Structures are given as structure tokens and as C-alpha cells.
Amino acid sequence: MSESAHSPQSALVAAGQPQISRRGRAARIWRVLRKAPPTAWFGLVVIGVYLFAAVFAPLLAPYSETELVGGAFEPWGGQFLLGTDQLGRDMLSRLIYGARNTVGIAFLTTMLSFLLGGALGLVAAISGGWLDQVLGRSVDVLMSIPQLIFALVLLSIVGSSVVNLIVIIAVLDSTRVFRLSRSVAQGVVVMDYVEAARLRGEKLPWIMRREILPNIMPPLVAEFGLRFCFVFLTISALSFLGLGIQPPTADWGSMVRDNAALITYGDVTPLLPAGAIALLTVAVNFVVDWFLHKTSGLRE
């Protein structure tokens, strides 16, 4: 990263270099994807399938997620491809709707945690002084308490609604985002082009958006994938314990709990939602590993 009077992005525009067209950008992305390893392609395909199922759940699912369509614990095959649960609801339909509910809520929670933690981390790095100390010590206090236990206590107090679940987990998870964004931003705020922007009289939001954020995006994007996995697993664990996404909403964590009794009889039905959770976690980690390797500048 050059220490010029402006950021690399500003320098390109100032030099009059033509902007990359949308078609050229797509061609460049395709060239990068063609060189991706098989593990990254596997992760991308799995993520794409999950997104497709989440978006088109009403079209793909044979029944509604709450509809009682048969007897309890119907076997696989025939009318019910993956059988039914303890109330007679179609397992395949609830698995598909679970992709929308579990993954969607985890994504929204991760987005909120990054907006909160990332913004506060940038403010702390740029401002320094007493504000940095107050924010840093507050985050240290929150991080000293185990996240799952803290979430269980708070949800027991305020209730297990979807809004409460998103807000509580986002606030607790934003502490990790704060630490990372503050750390990487501190290496950028000392650059000459950031000081030049301050001397020009640019406001704090402008400096954050135009000078610092573009230069710390790779580690933040990679962290977003990892944090999504942790949030996804936390929500599933809370649902398994009964304090996450509440019935009758289809959720993979609660589906494991509701059908756990079948394991005693050698039925693998409870392993289906558990496998869906594990598969998505592995897929996201494959993509994040490839992205980190690509942005680190390392070569085979």
C-alpha cells in the first residue's frame, strides 16, 4: 500500500484512469473463480444451493412448514420423502423452510453485528484517546463473559422473540468485529493520505468511507464469513436448548431436539438438520480459506 497523498482508489480516479466496466469486472471475477481450488468450488456450490432453497422455499417445499400432513414419525418414502416429525409435519418441507429461517436470521444478525462493531471499531481507531479507551474496555468486559451463557441469560429475561434473538446475538458478536476492525484500521490511520484528508477538513464519516474502509475490506470480508458460521451455530444451539427460534417456525436446531428420540430406534432423521448445519459451516469455511489465501498475496 503506497503512502501517497491520497488513497489508492482516489489516486486512480485523480489520474483519469477509466473505470472498469461492468462486463470487464464480471470477466475478471470469472478468471479468478476459474483458478479457485475444488474446495472453494464445493463451498460456492453448497452456498448457492442453500441460497436457492431459502429464496424459493415456498415453491420447492411440497407442504407448508406448519401443516400437519400425516401421523407422527411417518417412515421415509411414498408421500413423505423424508418422513414426518413428532407432530406429523413433513420433514423435507421443514428442512427447506429451515434454510430460509435459520440462514436468513443468521445473515441478518451477522450484518447487524458488522455494522455496529465495524463502525465503532473505525471510530475508536480514528479518534483514539479517551473514546478509544472507553470503547475498548467496554468490549473487554463483554468478551470476558461466555457468549452462549450470556445470550441464554438475556433471552431468559427479555423473551425469545426473533427481534430479541437478532439484537442480543448481534451486540454480543459485535465485540469480536470491533476488535478486528480497530486493529486493522489502526494500521491505516497513520498513512499520509489519511492525514492529508484530515488536513483538507474532511469529516470523520468521509474518511471512514473513502480512505480507510476500502483498504481494510479483505480481512473484514473474511471475518464476515467466519462470524456468520459462529452466529449460525449459536442460533442453532440456542434453538436446540429452546431459547432460539420458537415453534412452529421451522429451524434446524429445534428440529434436531424435537426428533432426537428417533436415534434410539436407529432412525437417522435427526441427523438431517444436523447435517445441514454442518455442511453449510464447512462450505463457508472452505470459501473463507480460499479468499484469505487469495487476498494475502501468497502463491502456490
CB 274 within 8 A of CB 185: no
If phi > 0 it is left, if psi is from -120 to 50 it is alpha, else beta; for residue 201 that is left
- Please name the residues in contact with 184: beta carbons below 8 A apart, sequence gap of 6 or more: 216, 219, 220
Evaluate whether 67 touches 90 at the Cβ level (below 8 Å): yes
* Of residues 53 and 126, more confidently modeled: 53
CA-to-CA distance for 198 and 7, rounded, in angstroms?
13
**Whether the Cβ atoms of residue 253 and residue 277 lie closer than 8 Å to each other:** yes
pLDDT tier at 296, thresholds 50, 70, 90: low
Cell of 80: 413423505
Where is pLDDT greater, at 143 or 201?
143
Contact 256, 268 (CB under 8 A): no
Residue 9, pLDDT above cutoff 50:
no
pLDDT band at 51, cuts 50/70/90?
very high
- Nearest-angstrom CA–CA distance, 188 and 211: 9
> What pairs with residue 80 in β-bridges?
77
Q: Using the predicted structure, report yes or no on whether residue 8 has a pLDDT greater than 50.
A: no
On the question of pLDDT at 100 being above 80, the answer is yes
pLDDT by residue (tens digit) across 63-81?
988 888 888 888 888 888 8
What is the arithmetic mean of pLDDT over 135-139? 89
Percent share of the chain, pLDDT over 90: 22
pLDDT tops 70 at residue 138: yes
Does 70 or 6 have the greater pLDDT score?
70
Question: Cα separations (Å) of 224 from 17, 113, 139?
Answer: 31, 10, 18
- Asked if 259 and 85 count as a contact pair (C-beta separation under 8 A), the reply is yes
Angle at 132 between CA 128 and CA 136, to 5 degrees: 150
Determine the average pLDDT of the residues in 19-30.
68
Query: C-alpha 227: how far from its chain's center?
Result: 5
Tell whether domain 36-295 is in CATH 3.30.420.10.
no
**Residue-level pLDDT at 112:** 94
Complete DSSP assignment for 199-230: HTT--HHHIIIIIIGGGSHHHHHHHHHHHHHH
pLDDT band at 113 (very low <50, low <70, confident <90, very high): very high
pLDDT given for residue 1 in this prediction: 43
pLDDT of residue 172 exceeding 60: yes
For the whole model, what pTM was predicted?
0.81
More confident residue, 16 or 274: 274
Q: What is the pLDDT of residue 115?
A: 92
pLDDT band at 15 (very low <50, low <70, confident <90, very high): very low
C-alpha distances (whole Å) from 153 to each of 68, 162, 169 are 33, 16, 12
